[in-house]
């Protein structure tokens, strides 16, 4: 697939009271239709790239697939009818059983890249699908958490060019970066990371830290829980429902990690403070 993560546009740059045209780089945003055995299950606005990881991660975290072992093939299908069939804008996952997707799991809706639209309707639904991670004994130094925003930013290659992308990074407890993905949608970036882990046989992600560049809403917490990630760290604040889920599921949730300070919202026992 050719790189389409950046789009160029001429803008009018105003500086010091003077205006002049200049070329600018924008984060690309295009629709991606995700299909399973030919059935459309979601349309999401995303930054092109790592589309197979995104499709796989989405289907696992939304309960459409129970395990990556179900997957036979993942491919682009640009020759099929439909409104999103531009080249590389439709991904189909074929399962080994090739059974149709249950009607209640199909997402016949538009999924915004900005805030997400999780398939689970409530925190109760997540409780039924995911076990607690309270037994995960991993611990991390508070000083290590403070380094993660900068480590994440240093690895964001497209953000440096556009300033318009979210990122999700998968770290070990000693701050070794295992995977980083960028996207216009923060939940898409998380799905891409989880999809990468699934494709590489790395699930469950026990003992890891998920670092995100923005806020932590409920859908990010539930996706991390499905992947068995015990620690979530973020530059910004979590939502109340994300904190409730983290607390009930035994997850550690740290937010507002900036400079030399952070807030611990849940699971503070895993963070070692000097």
What amino acid positions are annotated as catalytic residues? Answer: 115
Cis omega before residue 204 (within 30°)? yes
- Specify whether the CB–CB gap between 199 and 170 falls below 8 A: no
CA atoms within 13 A on the CB side of 170: 25
CA distance 154 to 141: 21
3-state secondary structure of 73: strand
Q: What is the DSSP string of 151-188?
A: HHHHH-HHHHHHS--EEEEEEETT--EEEEEEESSHHH
Q: What is the DSSP string of 189-257?
A: HHHHHHHHHHHTT--S-TTEEEEESS-B-HHHHHHHHHTT--EEEESSPBPHHHHHHHHHHT-EEEEEE
DSSP 83: T
CA distance 266 to 237: 13
């Amino acid at each position: 697939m050719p790189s389409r993560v950046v789009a160029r546009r001429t803008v009018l740059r105003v500086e010091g009271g003077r205006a002049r045209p200049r070329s600018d780089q924008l984060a690309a945003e295009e629709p991606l239709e995700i299909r399973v055995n030919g059935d459309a299950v979601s349309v999401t606005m995303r930054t092109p790239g790592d589309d197979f990881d995104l499709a796989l991660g989405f289907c696992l975290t939304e309960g459409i697939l129970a395990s990556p072992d179900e997957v036979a093939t993942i491919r682009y299908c640009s020759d099929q009818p439909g409104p999103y069939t531009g080249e590389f804008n439709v991904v189909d996952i074929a399962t080994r059983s090739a059974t149709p997707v249950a009607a209640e799991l199909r997402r016949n809706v538009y999924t915004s890249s900005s805030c997400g639209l999780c398939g689970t309707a409530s925190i109760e639904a997540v409780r039924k699908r995911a076990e607690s991670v309270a037994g995960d004994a991993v611990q991390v130094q508070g000083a290590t958490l403070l380094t993660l925003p900068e480590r994440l930013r240093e690895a964001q290659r497209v953000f440096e060019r556009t300033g318009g992308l979210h990122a999700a990074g998968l770290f070990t407890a000693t701050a070794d970066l295992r995977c980083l993905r960028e996207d216009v949608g923060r939940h898409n970036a998380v799905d891409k990371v989880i999809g990468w882990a699934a494709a590489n046989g790395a699930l469950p992600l026990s003992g890891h830290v998920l670092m995100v560049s923005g806020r932590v809403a409920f859908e990010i917490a539930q996706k991390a829980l499905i992947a068995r990630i015990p620690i979530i760290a973020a530059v910004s604040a979590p939502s109340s429902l994300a904190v409730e889920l983290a607390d009930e599921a035994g997850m550690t949730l740290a937010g507002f990690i900036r400079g030399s300070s952070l807030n611990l919202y849940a699971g503070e026992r895993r963070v070692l403070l000097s």
